[in-house]
Amino acid sequence: MTFKTLGLSDKVLSAVDASGYTEPTAIQAGAIPHVLERRDVLGIAQTGTGKTASFTLPMLTLLEKGRARARMPRTLILEPTRELAAQVQENFEKYGTNHKLNVALLIGGVSFGEQDKKLDRGTDVLIATPGRLLDHFERGKLLLQGVEVLVIDEADRMLDMGFIPDIERICKLIPFTRQTLFFSATMPPEIQRLTETFLQNPARVEVARTSSTSENISHYLRAAEGKDYEKRAVLRELLEGAEDLNNAIVFCNRKRDISTLFRSLERHGYSVGSLHGDMDQRTRMTMLDNFKKGTIKLLIASDVAARGLDIPEVSHVFNYDVPSHAEDYVHRIGRTGRAGRTGVAYTLVSGSDQKYLESIEKLIAQDIEWLGDPVDFEAAHQARKGRKRGKTQKPTNDNTAQPAQAEAQKFEVADDVNSGERKKNARPKQRDTMNTHTKKRSEKKNNEPAFSGGVHIPAFLLREPRPKKAS
């Protein structure tokens, strides 16, 4: 099968040929004809299989007829992150070279003024994150009555990130007769139920088992117990021993670990950059661009880089932390092994990661191979219980002694009572000593001046106190 058999226009086919692609992927071959028929589509496929082109190419064909009006976009594409939105814009620029279409990008971190100018000129394709889209709508700068096609890309991520209320609101602002396209790498059952609200009699295109990993990716586990510096040493060992390492993405769960790992690898002479959600948009895009160009070899990133980013030549992925959500593992390792290439993924595992690892292996329906000895999860669990027990145990004192010590104290008190003399002499002596210390502290406190030398004292504090009136 070739792209020519899918019903795409000559302009689109010319751009595809110029890009060097001749045969469509399975998701493209299954989805493009349905999109051209104006049907709703629910597309599920592994990450890295060309889902973006599955809606980009047919939309370009459909948009060849008609013109956009000011502030009324003809099509709307919703993305969960700024990076994905910018990447979709690149796809439209790449495949739309023969079209005179206006493409606008509405994302955070960019001034409203520049975005308003693009909307005022008329927009054929509007690519946006939900929050910034609603901001423009509430400011009266955007009308959604003219939207013909709505695309919700990375649908599970959109819904998982809490965009459900925003998406429902946006769908109510768009004509009911719109065409709706859902594309995602994973589609859990609860997300599947939500799609019934947004899609009308959709064509379901599923080219791989849900939440499966690409056969082009070899993935391994590596035990990494101990302190943080020992874990970083294990990562450096894997980096040094990796064969044919062209570049790599290292995923961390926490932003503070990204900063720490970045500084550590930089000190050890690696070409490294970082990427996470707290960075401003200009810095994020510059970092991604440098990674794509090969200026930096290692990108330390959070899961903001795990979804949909198309960097074809990533040779390796390292999970510095086991992801807490099993679906994120599929997306993370999917950054390598793209477009038919092979890739390698390593995951560092500690004793506290057992439940996360079990969830991942259950999701992908396969056991991941260990490099070296696997983690003894039972021993690690017992060690954690021991440490926890040691922390919660209260230190004993004379009054809360263990039974044997308490019994000994009882006999000592009895001896003191029987002898009489020791007990009588010991307690008052201790009391006298305590009174003496207290008295000395009190005298010292009373004799100390209220103000140290050189401090200005207000005049009213220097007055003599008024004598008390005789009653």
Task: Give per-residue pLDDT as tens, 93-119.
Answer: 999 999 989 999 999 878 899 999 999
pLDDT of residue 395: 53
Q: Are residues 265 and 382 in the same domain?
A: yes
Q: How far is CA 406 from CA 253, 409, 414, 419, in A?
A: 50, 5, 12, 20
Separation between Cα atoms, residue 308 and residue 314, nearest integer Å: 13
What are the two backbone dihedrals, phi and then psi, of residue 378, each rounded to the nearest 5 degrees? -65, -45
Q: Are residues 151 and 249 in the same domain?
A: no
pLDDT of residue 355: 93
| 272 part of a folded domain | yes
pTM check: above 0.85: no
| 37 part of a folded domain | yes
pLDDT of residue 145: 93
Q: Are residues 88 and 201 in the same domain?
A: yes
Domain count, the chain: 2
Q: Are residues 140 and 56 in the same domain?
A: yes
On average, the pLDDT of the chain sits at: 83
Neighbouring C-alpha atoms within 13 Å toward the C-beta of 271: 12
For the chain, the 3-state helix, strand and coil shares in percent, each to the nearest 5, are: 45, 15, 40
CATH of the domain at 313: 3.40.50.300
Q: Are residues 179 and 227 in the same domain?
A: no
Separation between Cα atoms, residue 130 and residue 171, nearest integer Å: 11
Q: Are residues 202 and 224 in the same domain?
A: no
Q: What is the mean pLDDT of residues 268-292?
A: 87
Q: What is the mean pLDDT of residues 372-398?
A: 74
| 106 part of a folded domain | yes
Q: How far is CA 251 from CA 31, 43, 422, 468, in A?
A: 31, 27, 70, 77
Within 10 Å of residue 28's Cβ, how many Cβ atoms?
28
| 471 part of a folded domain | no
Q: Are residues 155 and 251 in the same domain?
A: no
Task: Tell me how far apart the terminal alpha carbons of the chain are, to the nearest angstrom.
Answer: 113
pLDDT of residue 446: 53
| DSSP bridge partners of 343 | 217
Please check the confidence at residue 190 and state whether its pLDDT lies above 80. no
pLDDT of residue 209: 62
Condensed to tens digits (0 to 9), the pLDDT of residues 129-150 reads: 999 999 999 999 999 999 999 9
- Domain boundary at 333, 363, 389, which? 389
Condensed to tens digits (0 to 9), the pLDDT of residues 404-448 reads: 444 444 444 444 444 444 444 444 444 444 455 555 555 555 555
Q: Are residues 117 and 224 in the same domain?
A: no
Q: Are residues 197 and 239 in the same domain?
A: no
Q: Are residues 311 and 250 in the same domain?
A: yes
Q: Are residues 169 and 228 in the same domain?
A: no
pLDDT of residue 460: 73
| 63 part of a folded domain | yes
Quick check: 95 and 21 in contact, CB under 8 A? Answer: no
Provide the domain limits for residue 154.
3-206
Q: What is the token pair recorded at 421?
A: 């003399």
Q: Are residues 73 and 41 in the same domain?
A: yes
| 309 part of a folded domain | yes
pLDDT of residue 45: 79
The sign of the CA dihedral 68, 72, 74, 79 is positive
Q: What is the mean pLDDT of residues 198-222?
A: 83
- Domain boundary at 338, 359, 389, which? 389
| 450 part of a folded domain | no
Quick check: 124 and 101 in contact, CB under 8 A? Answer: yes
Condensed to tens digits (0 to 9), the pLDDT of residues 49-91 reads: 788 999 999 999 999 988 888 899 999 999 988 888 988 999 9
Within 10 Å of residue 86's Cβ, how many Cβ atoms?
18
Please check the confidence at residue 276 and state whether its pLDDT lies above 60. yes
For residue 270, how far is the Cα from the chain centroid?
A: 24
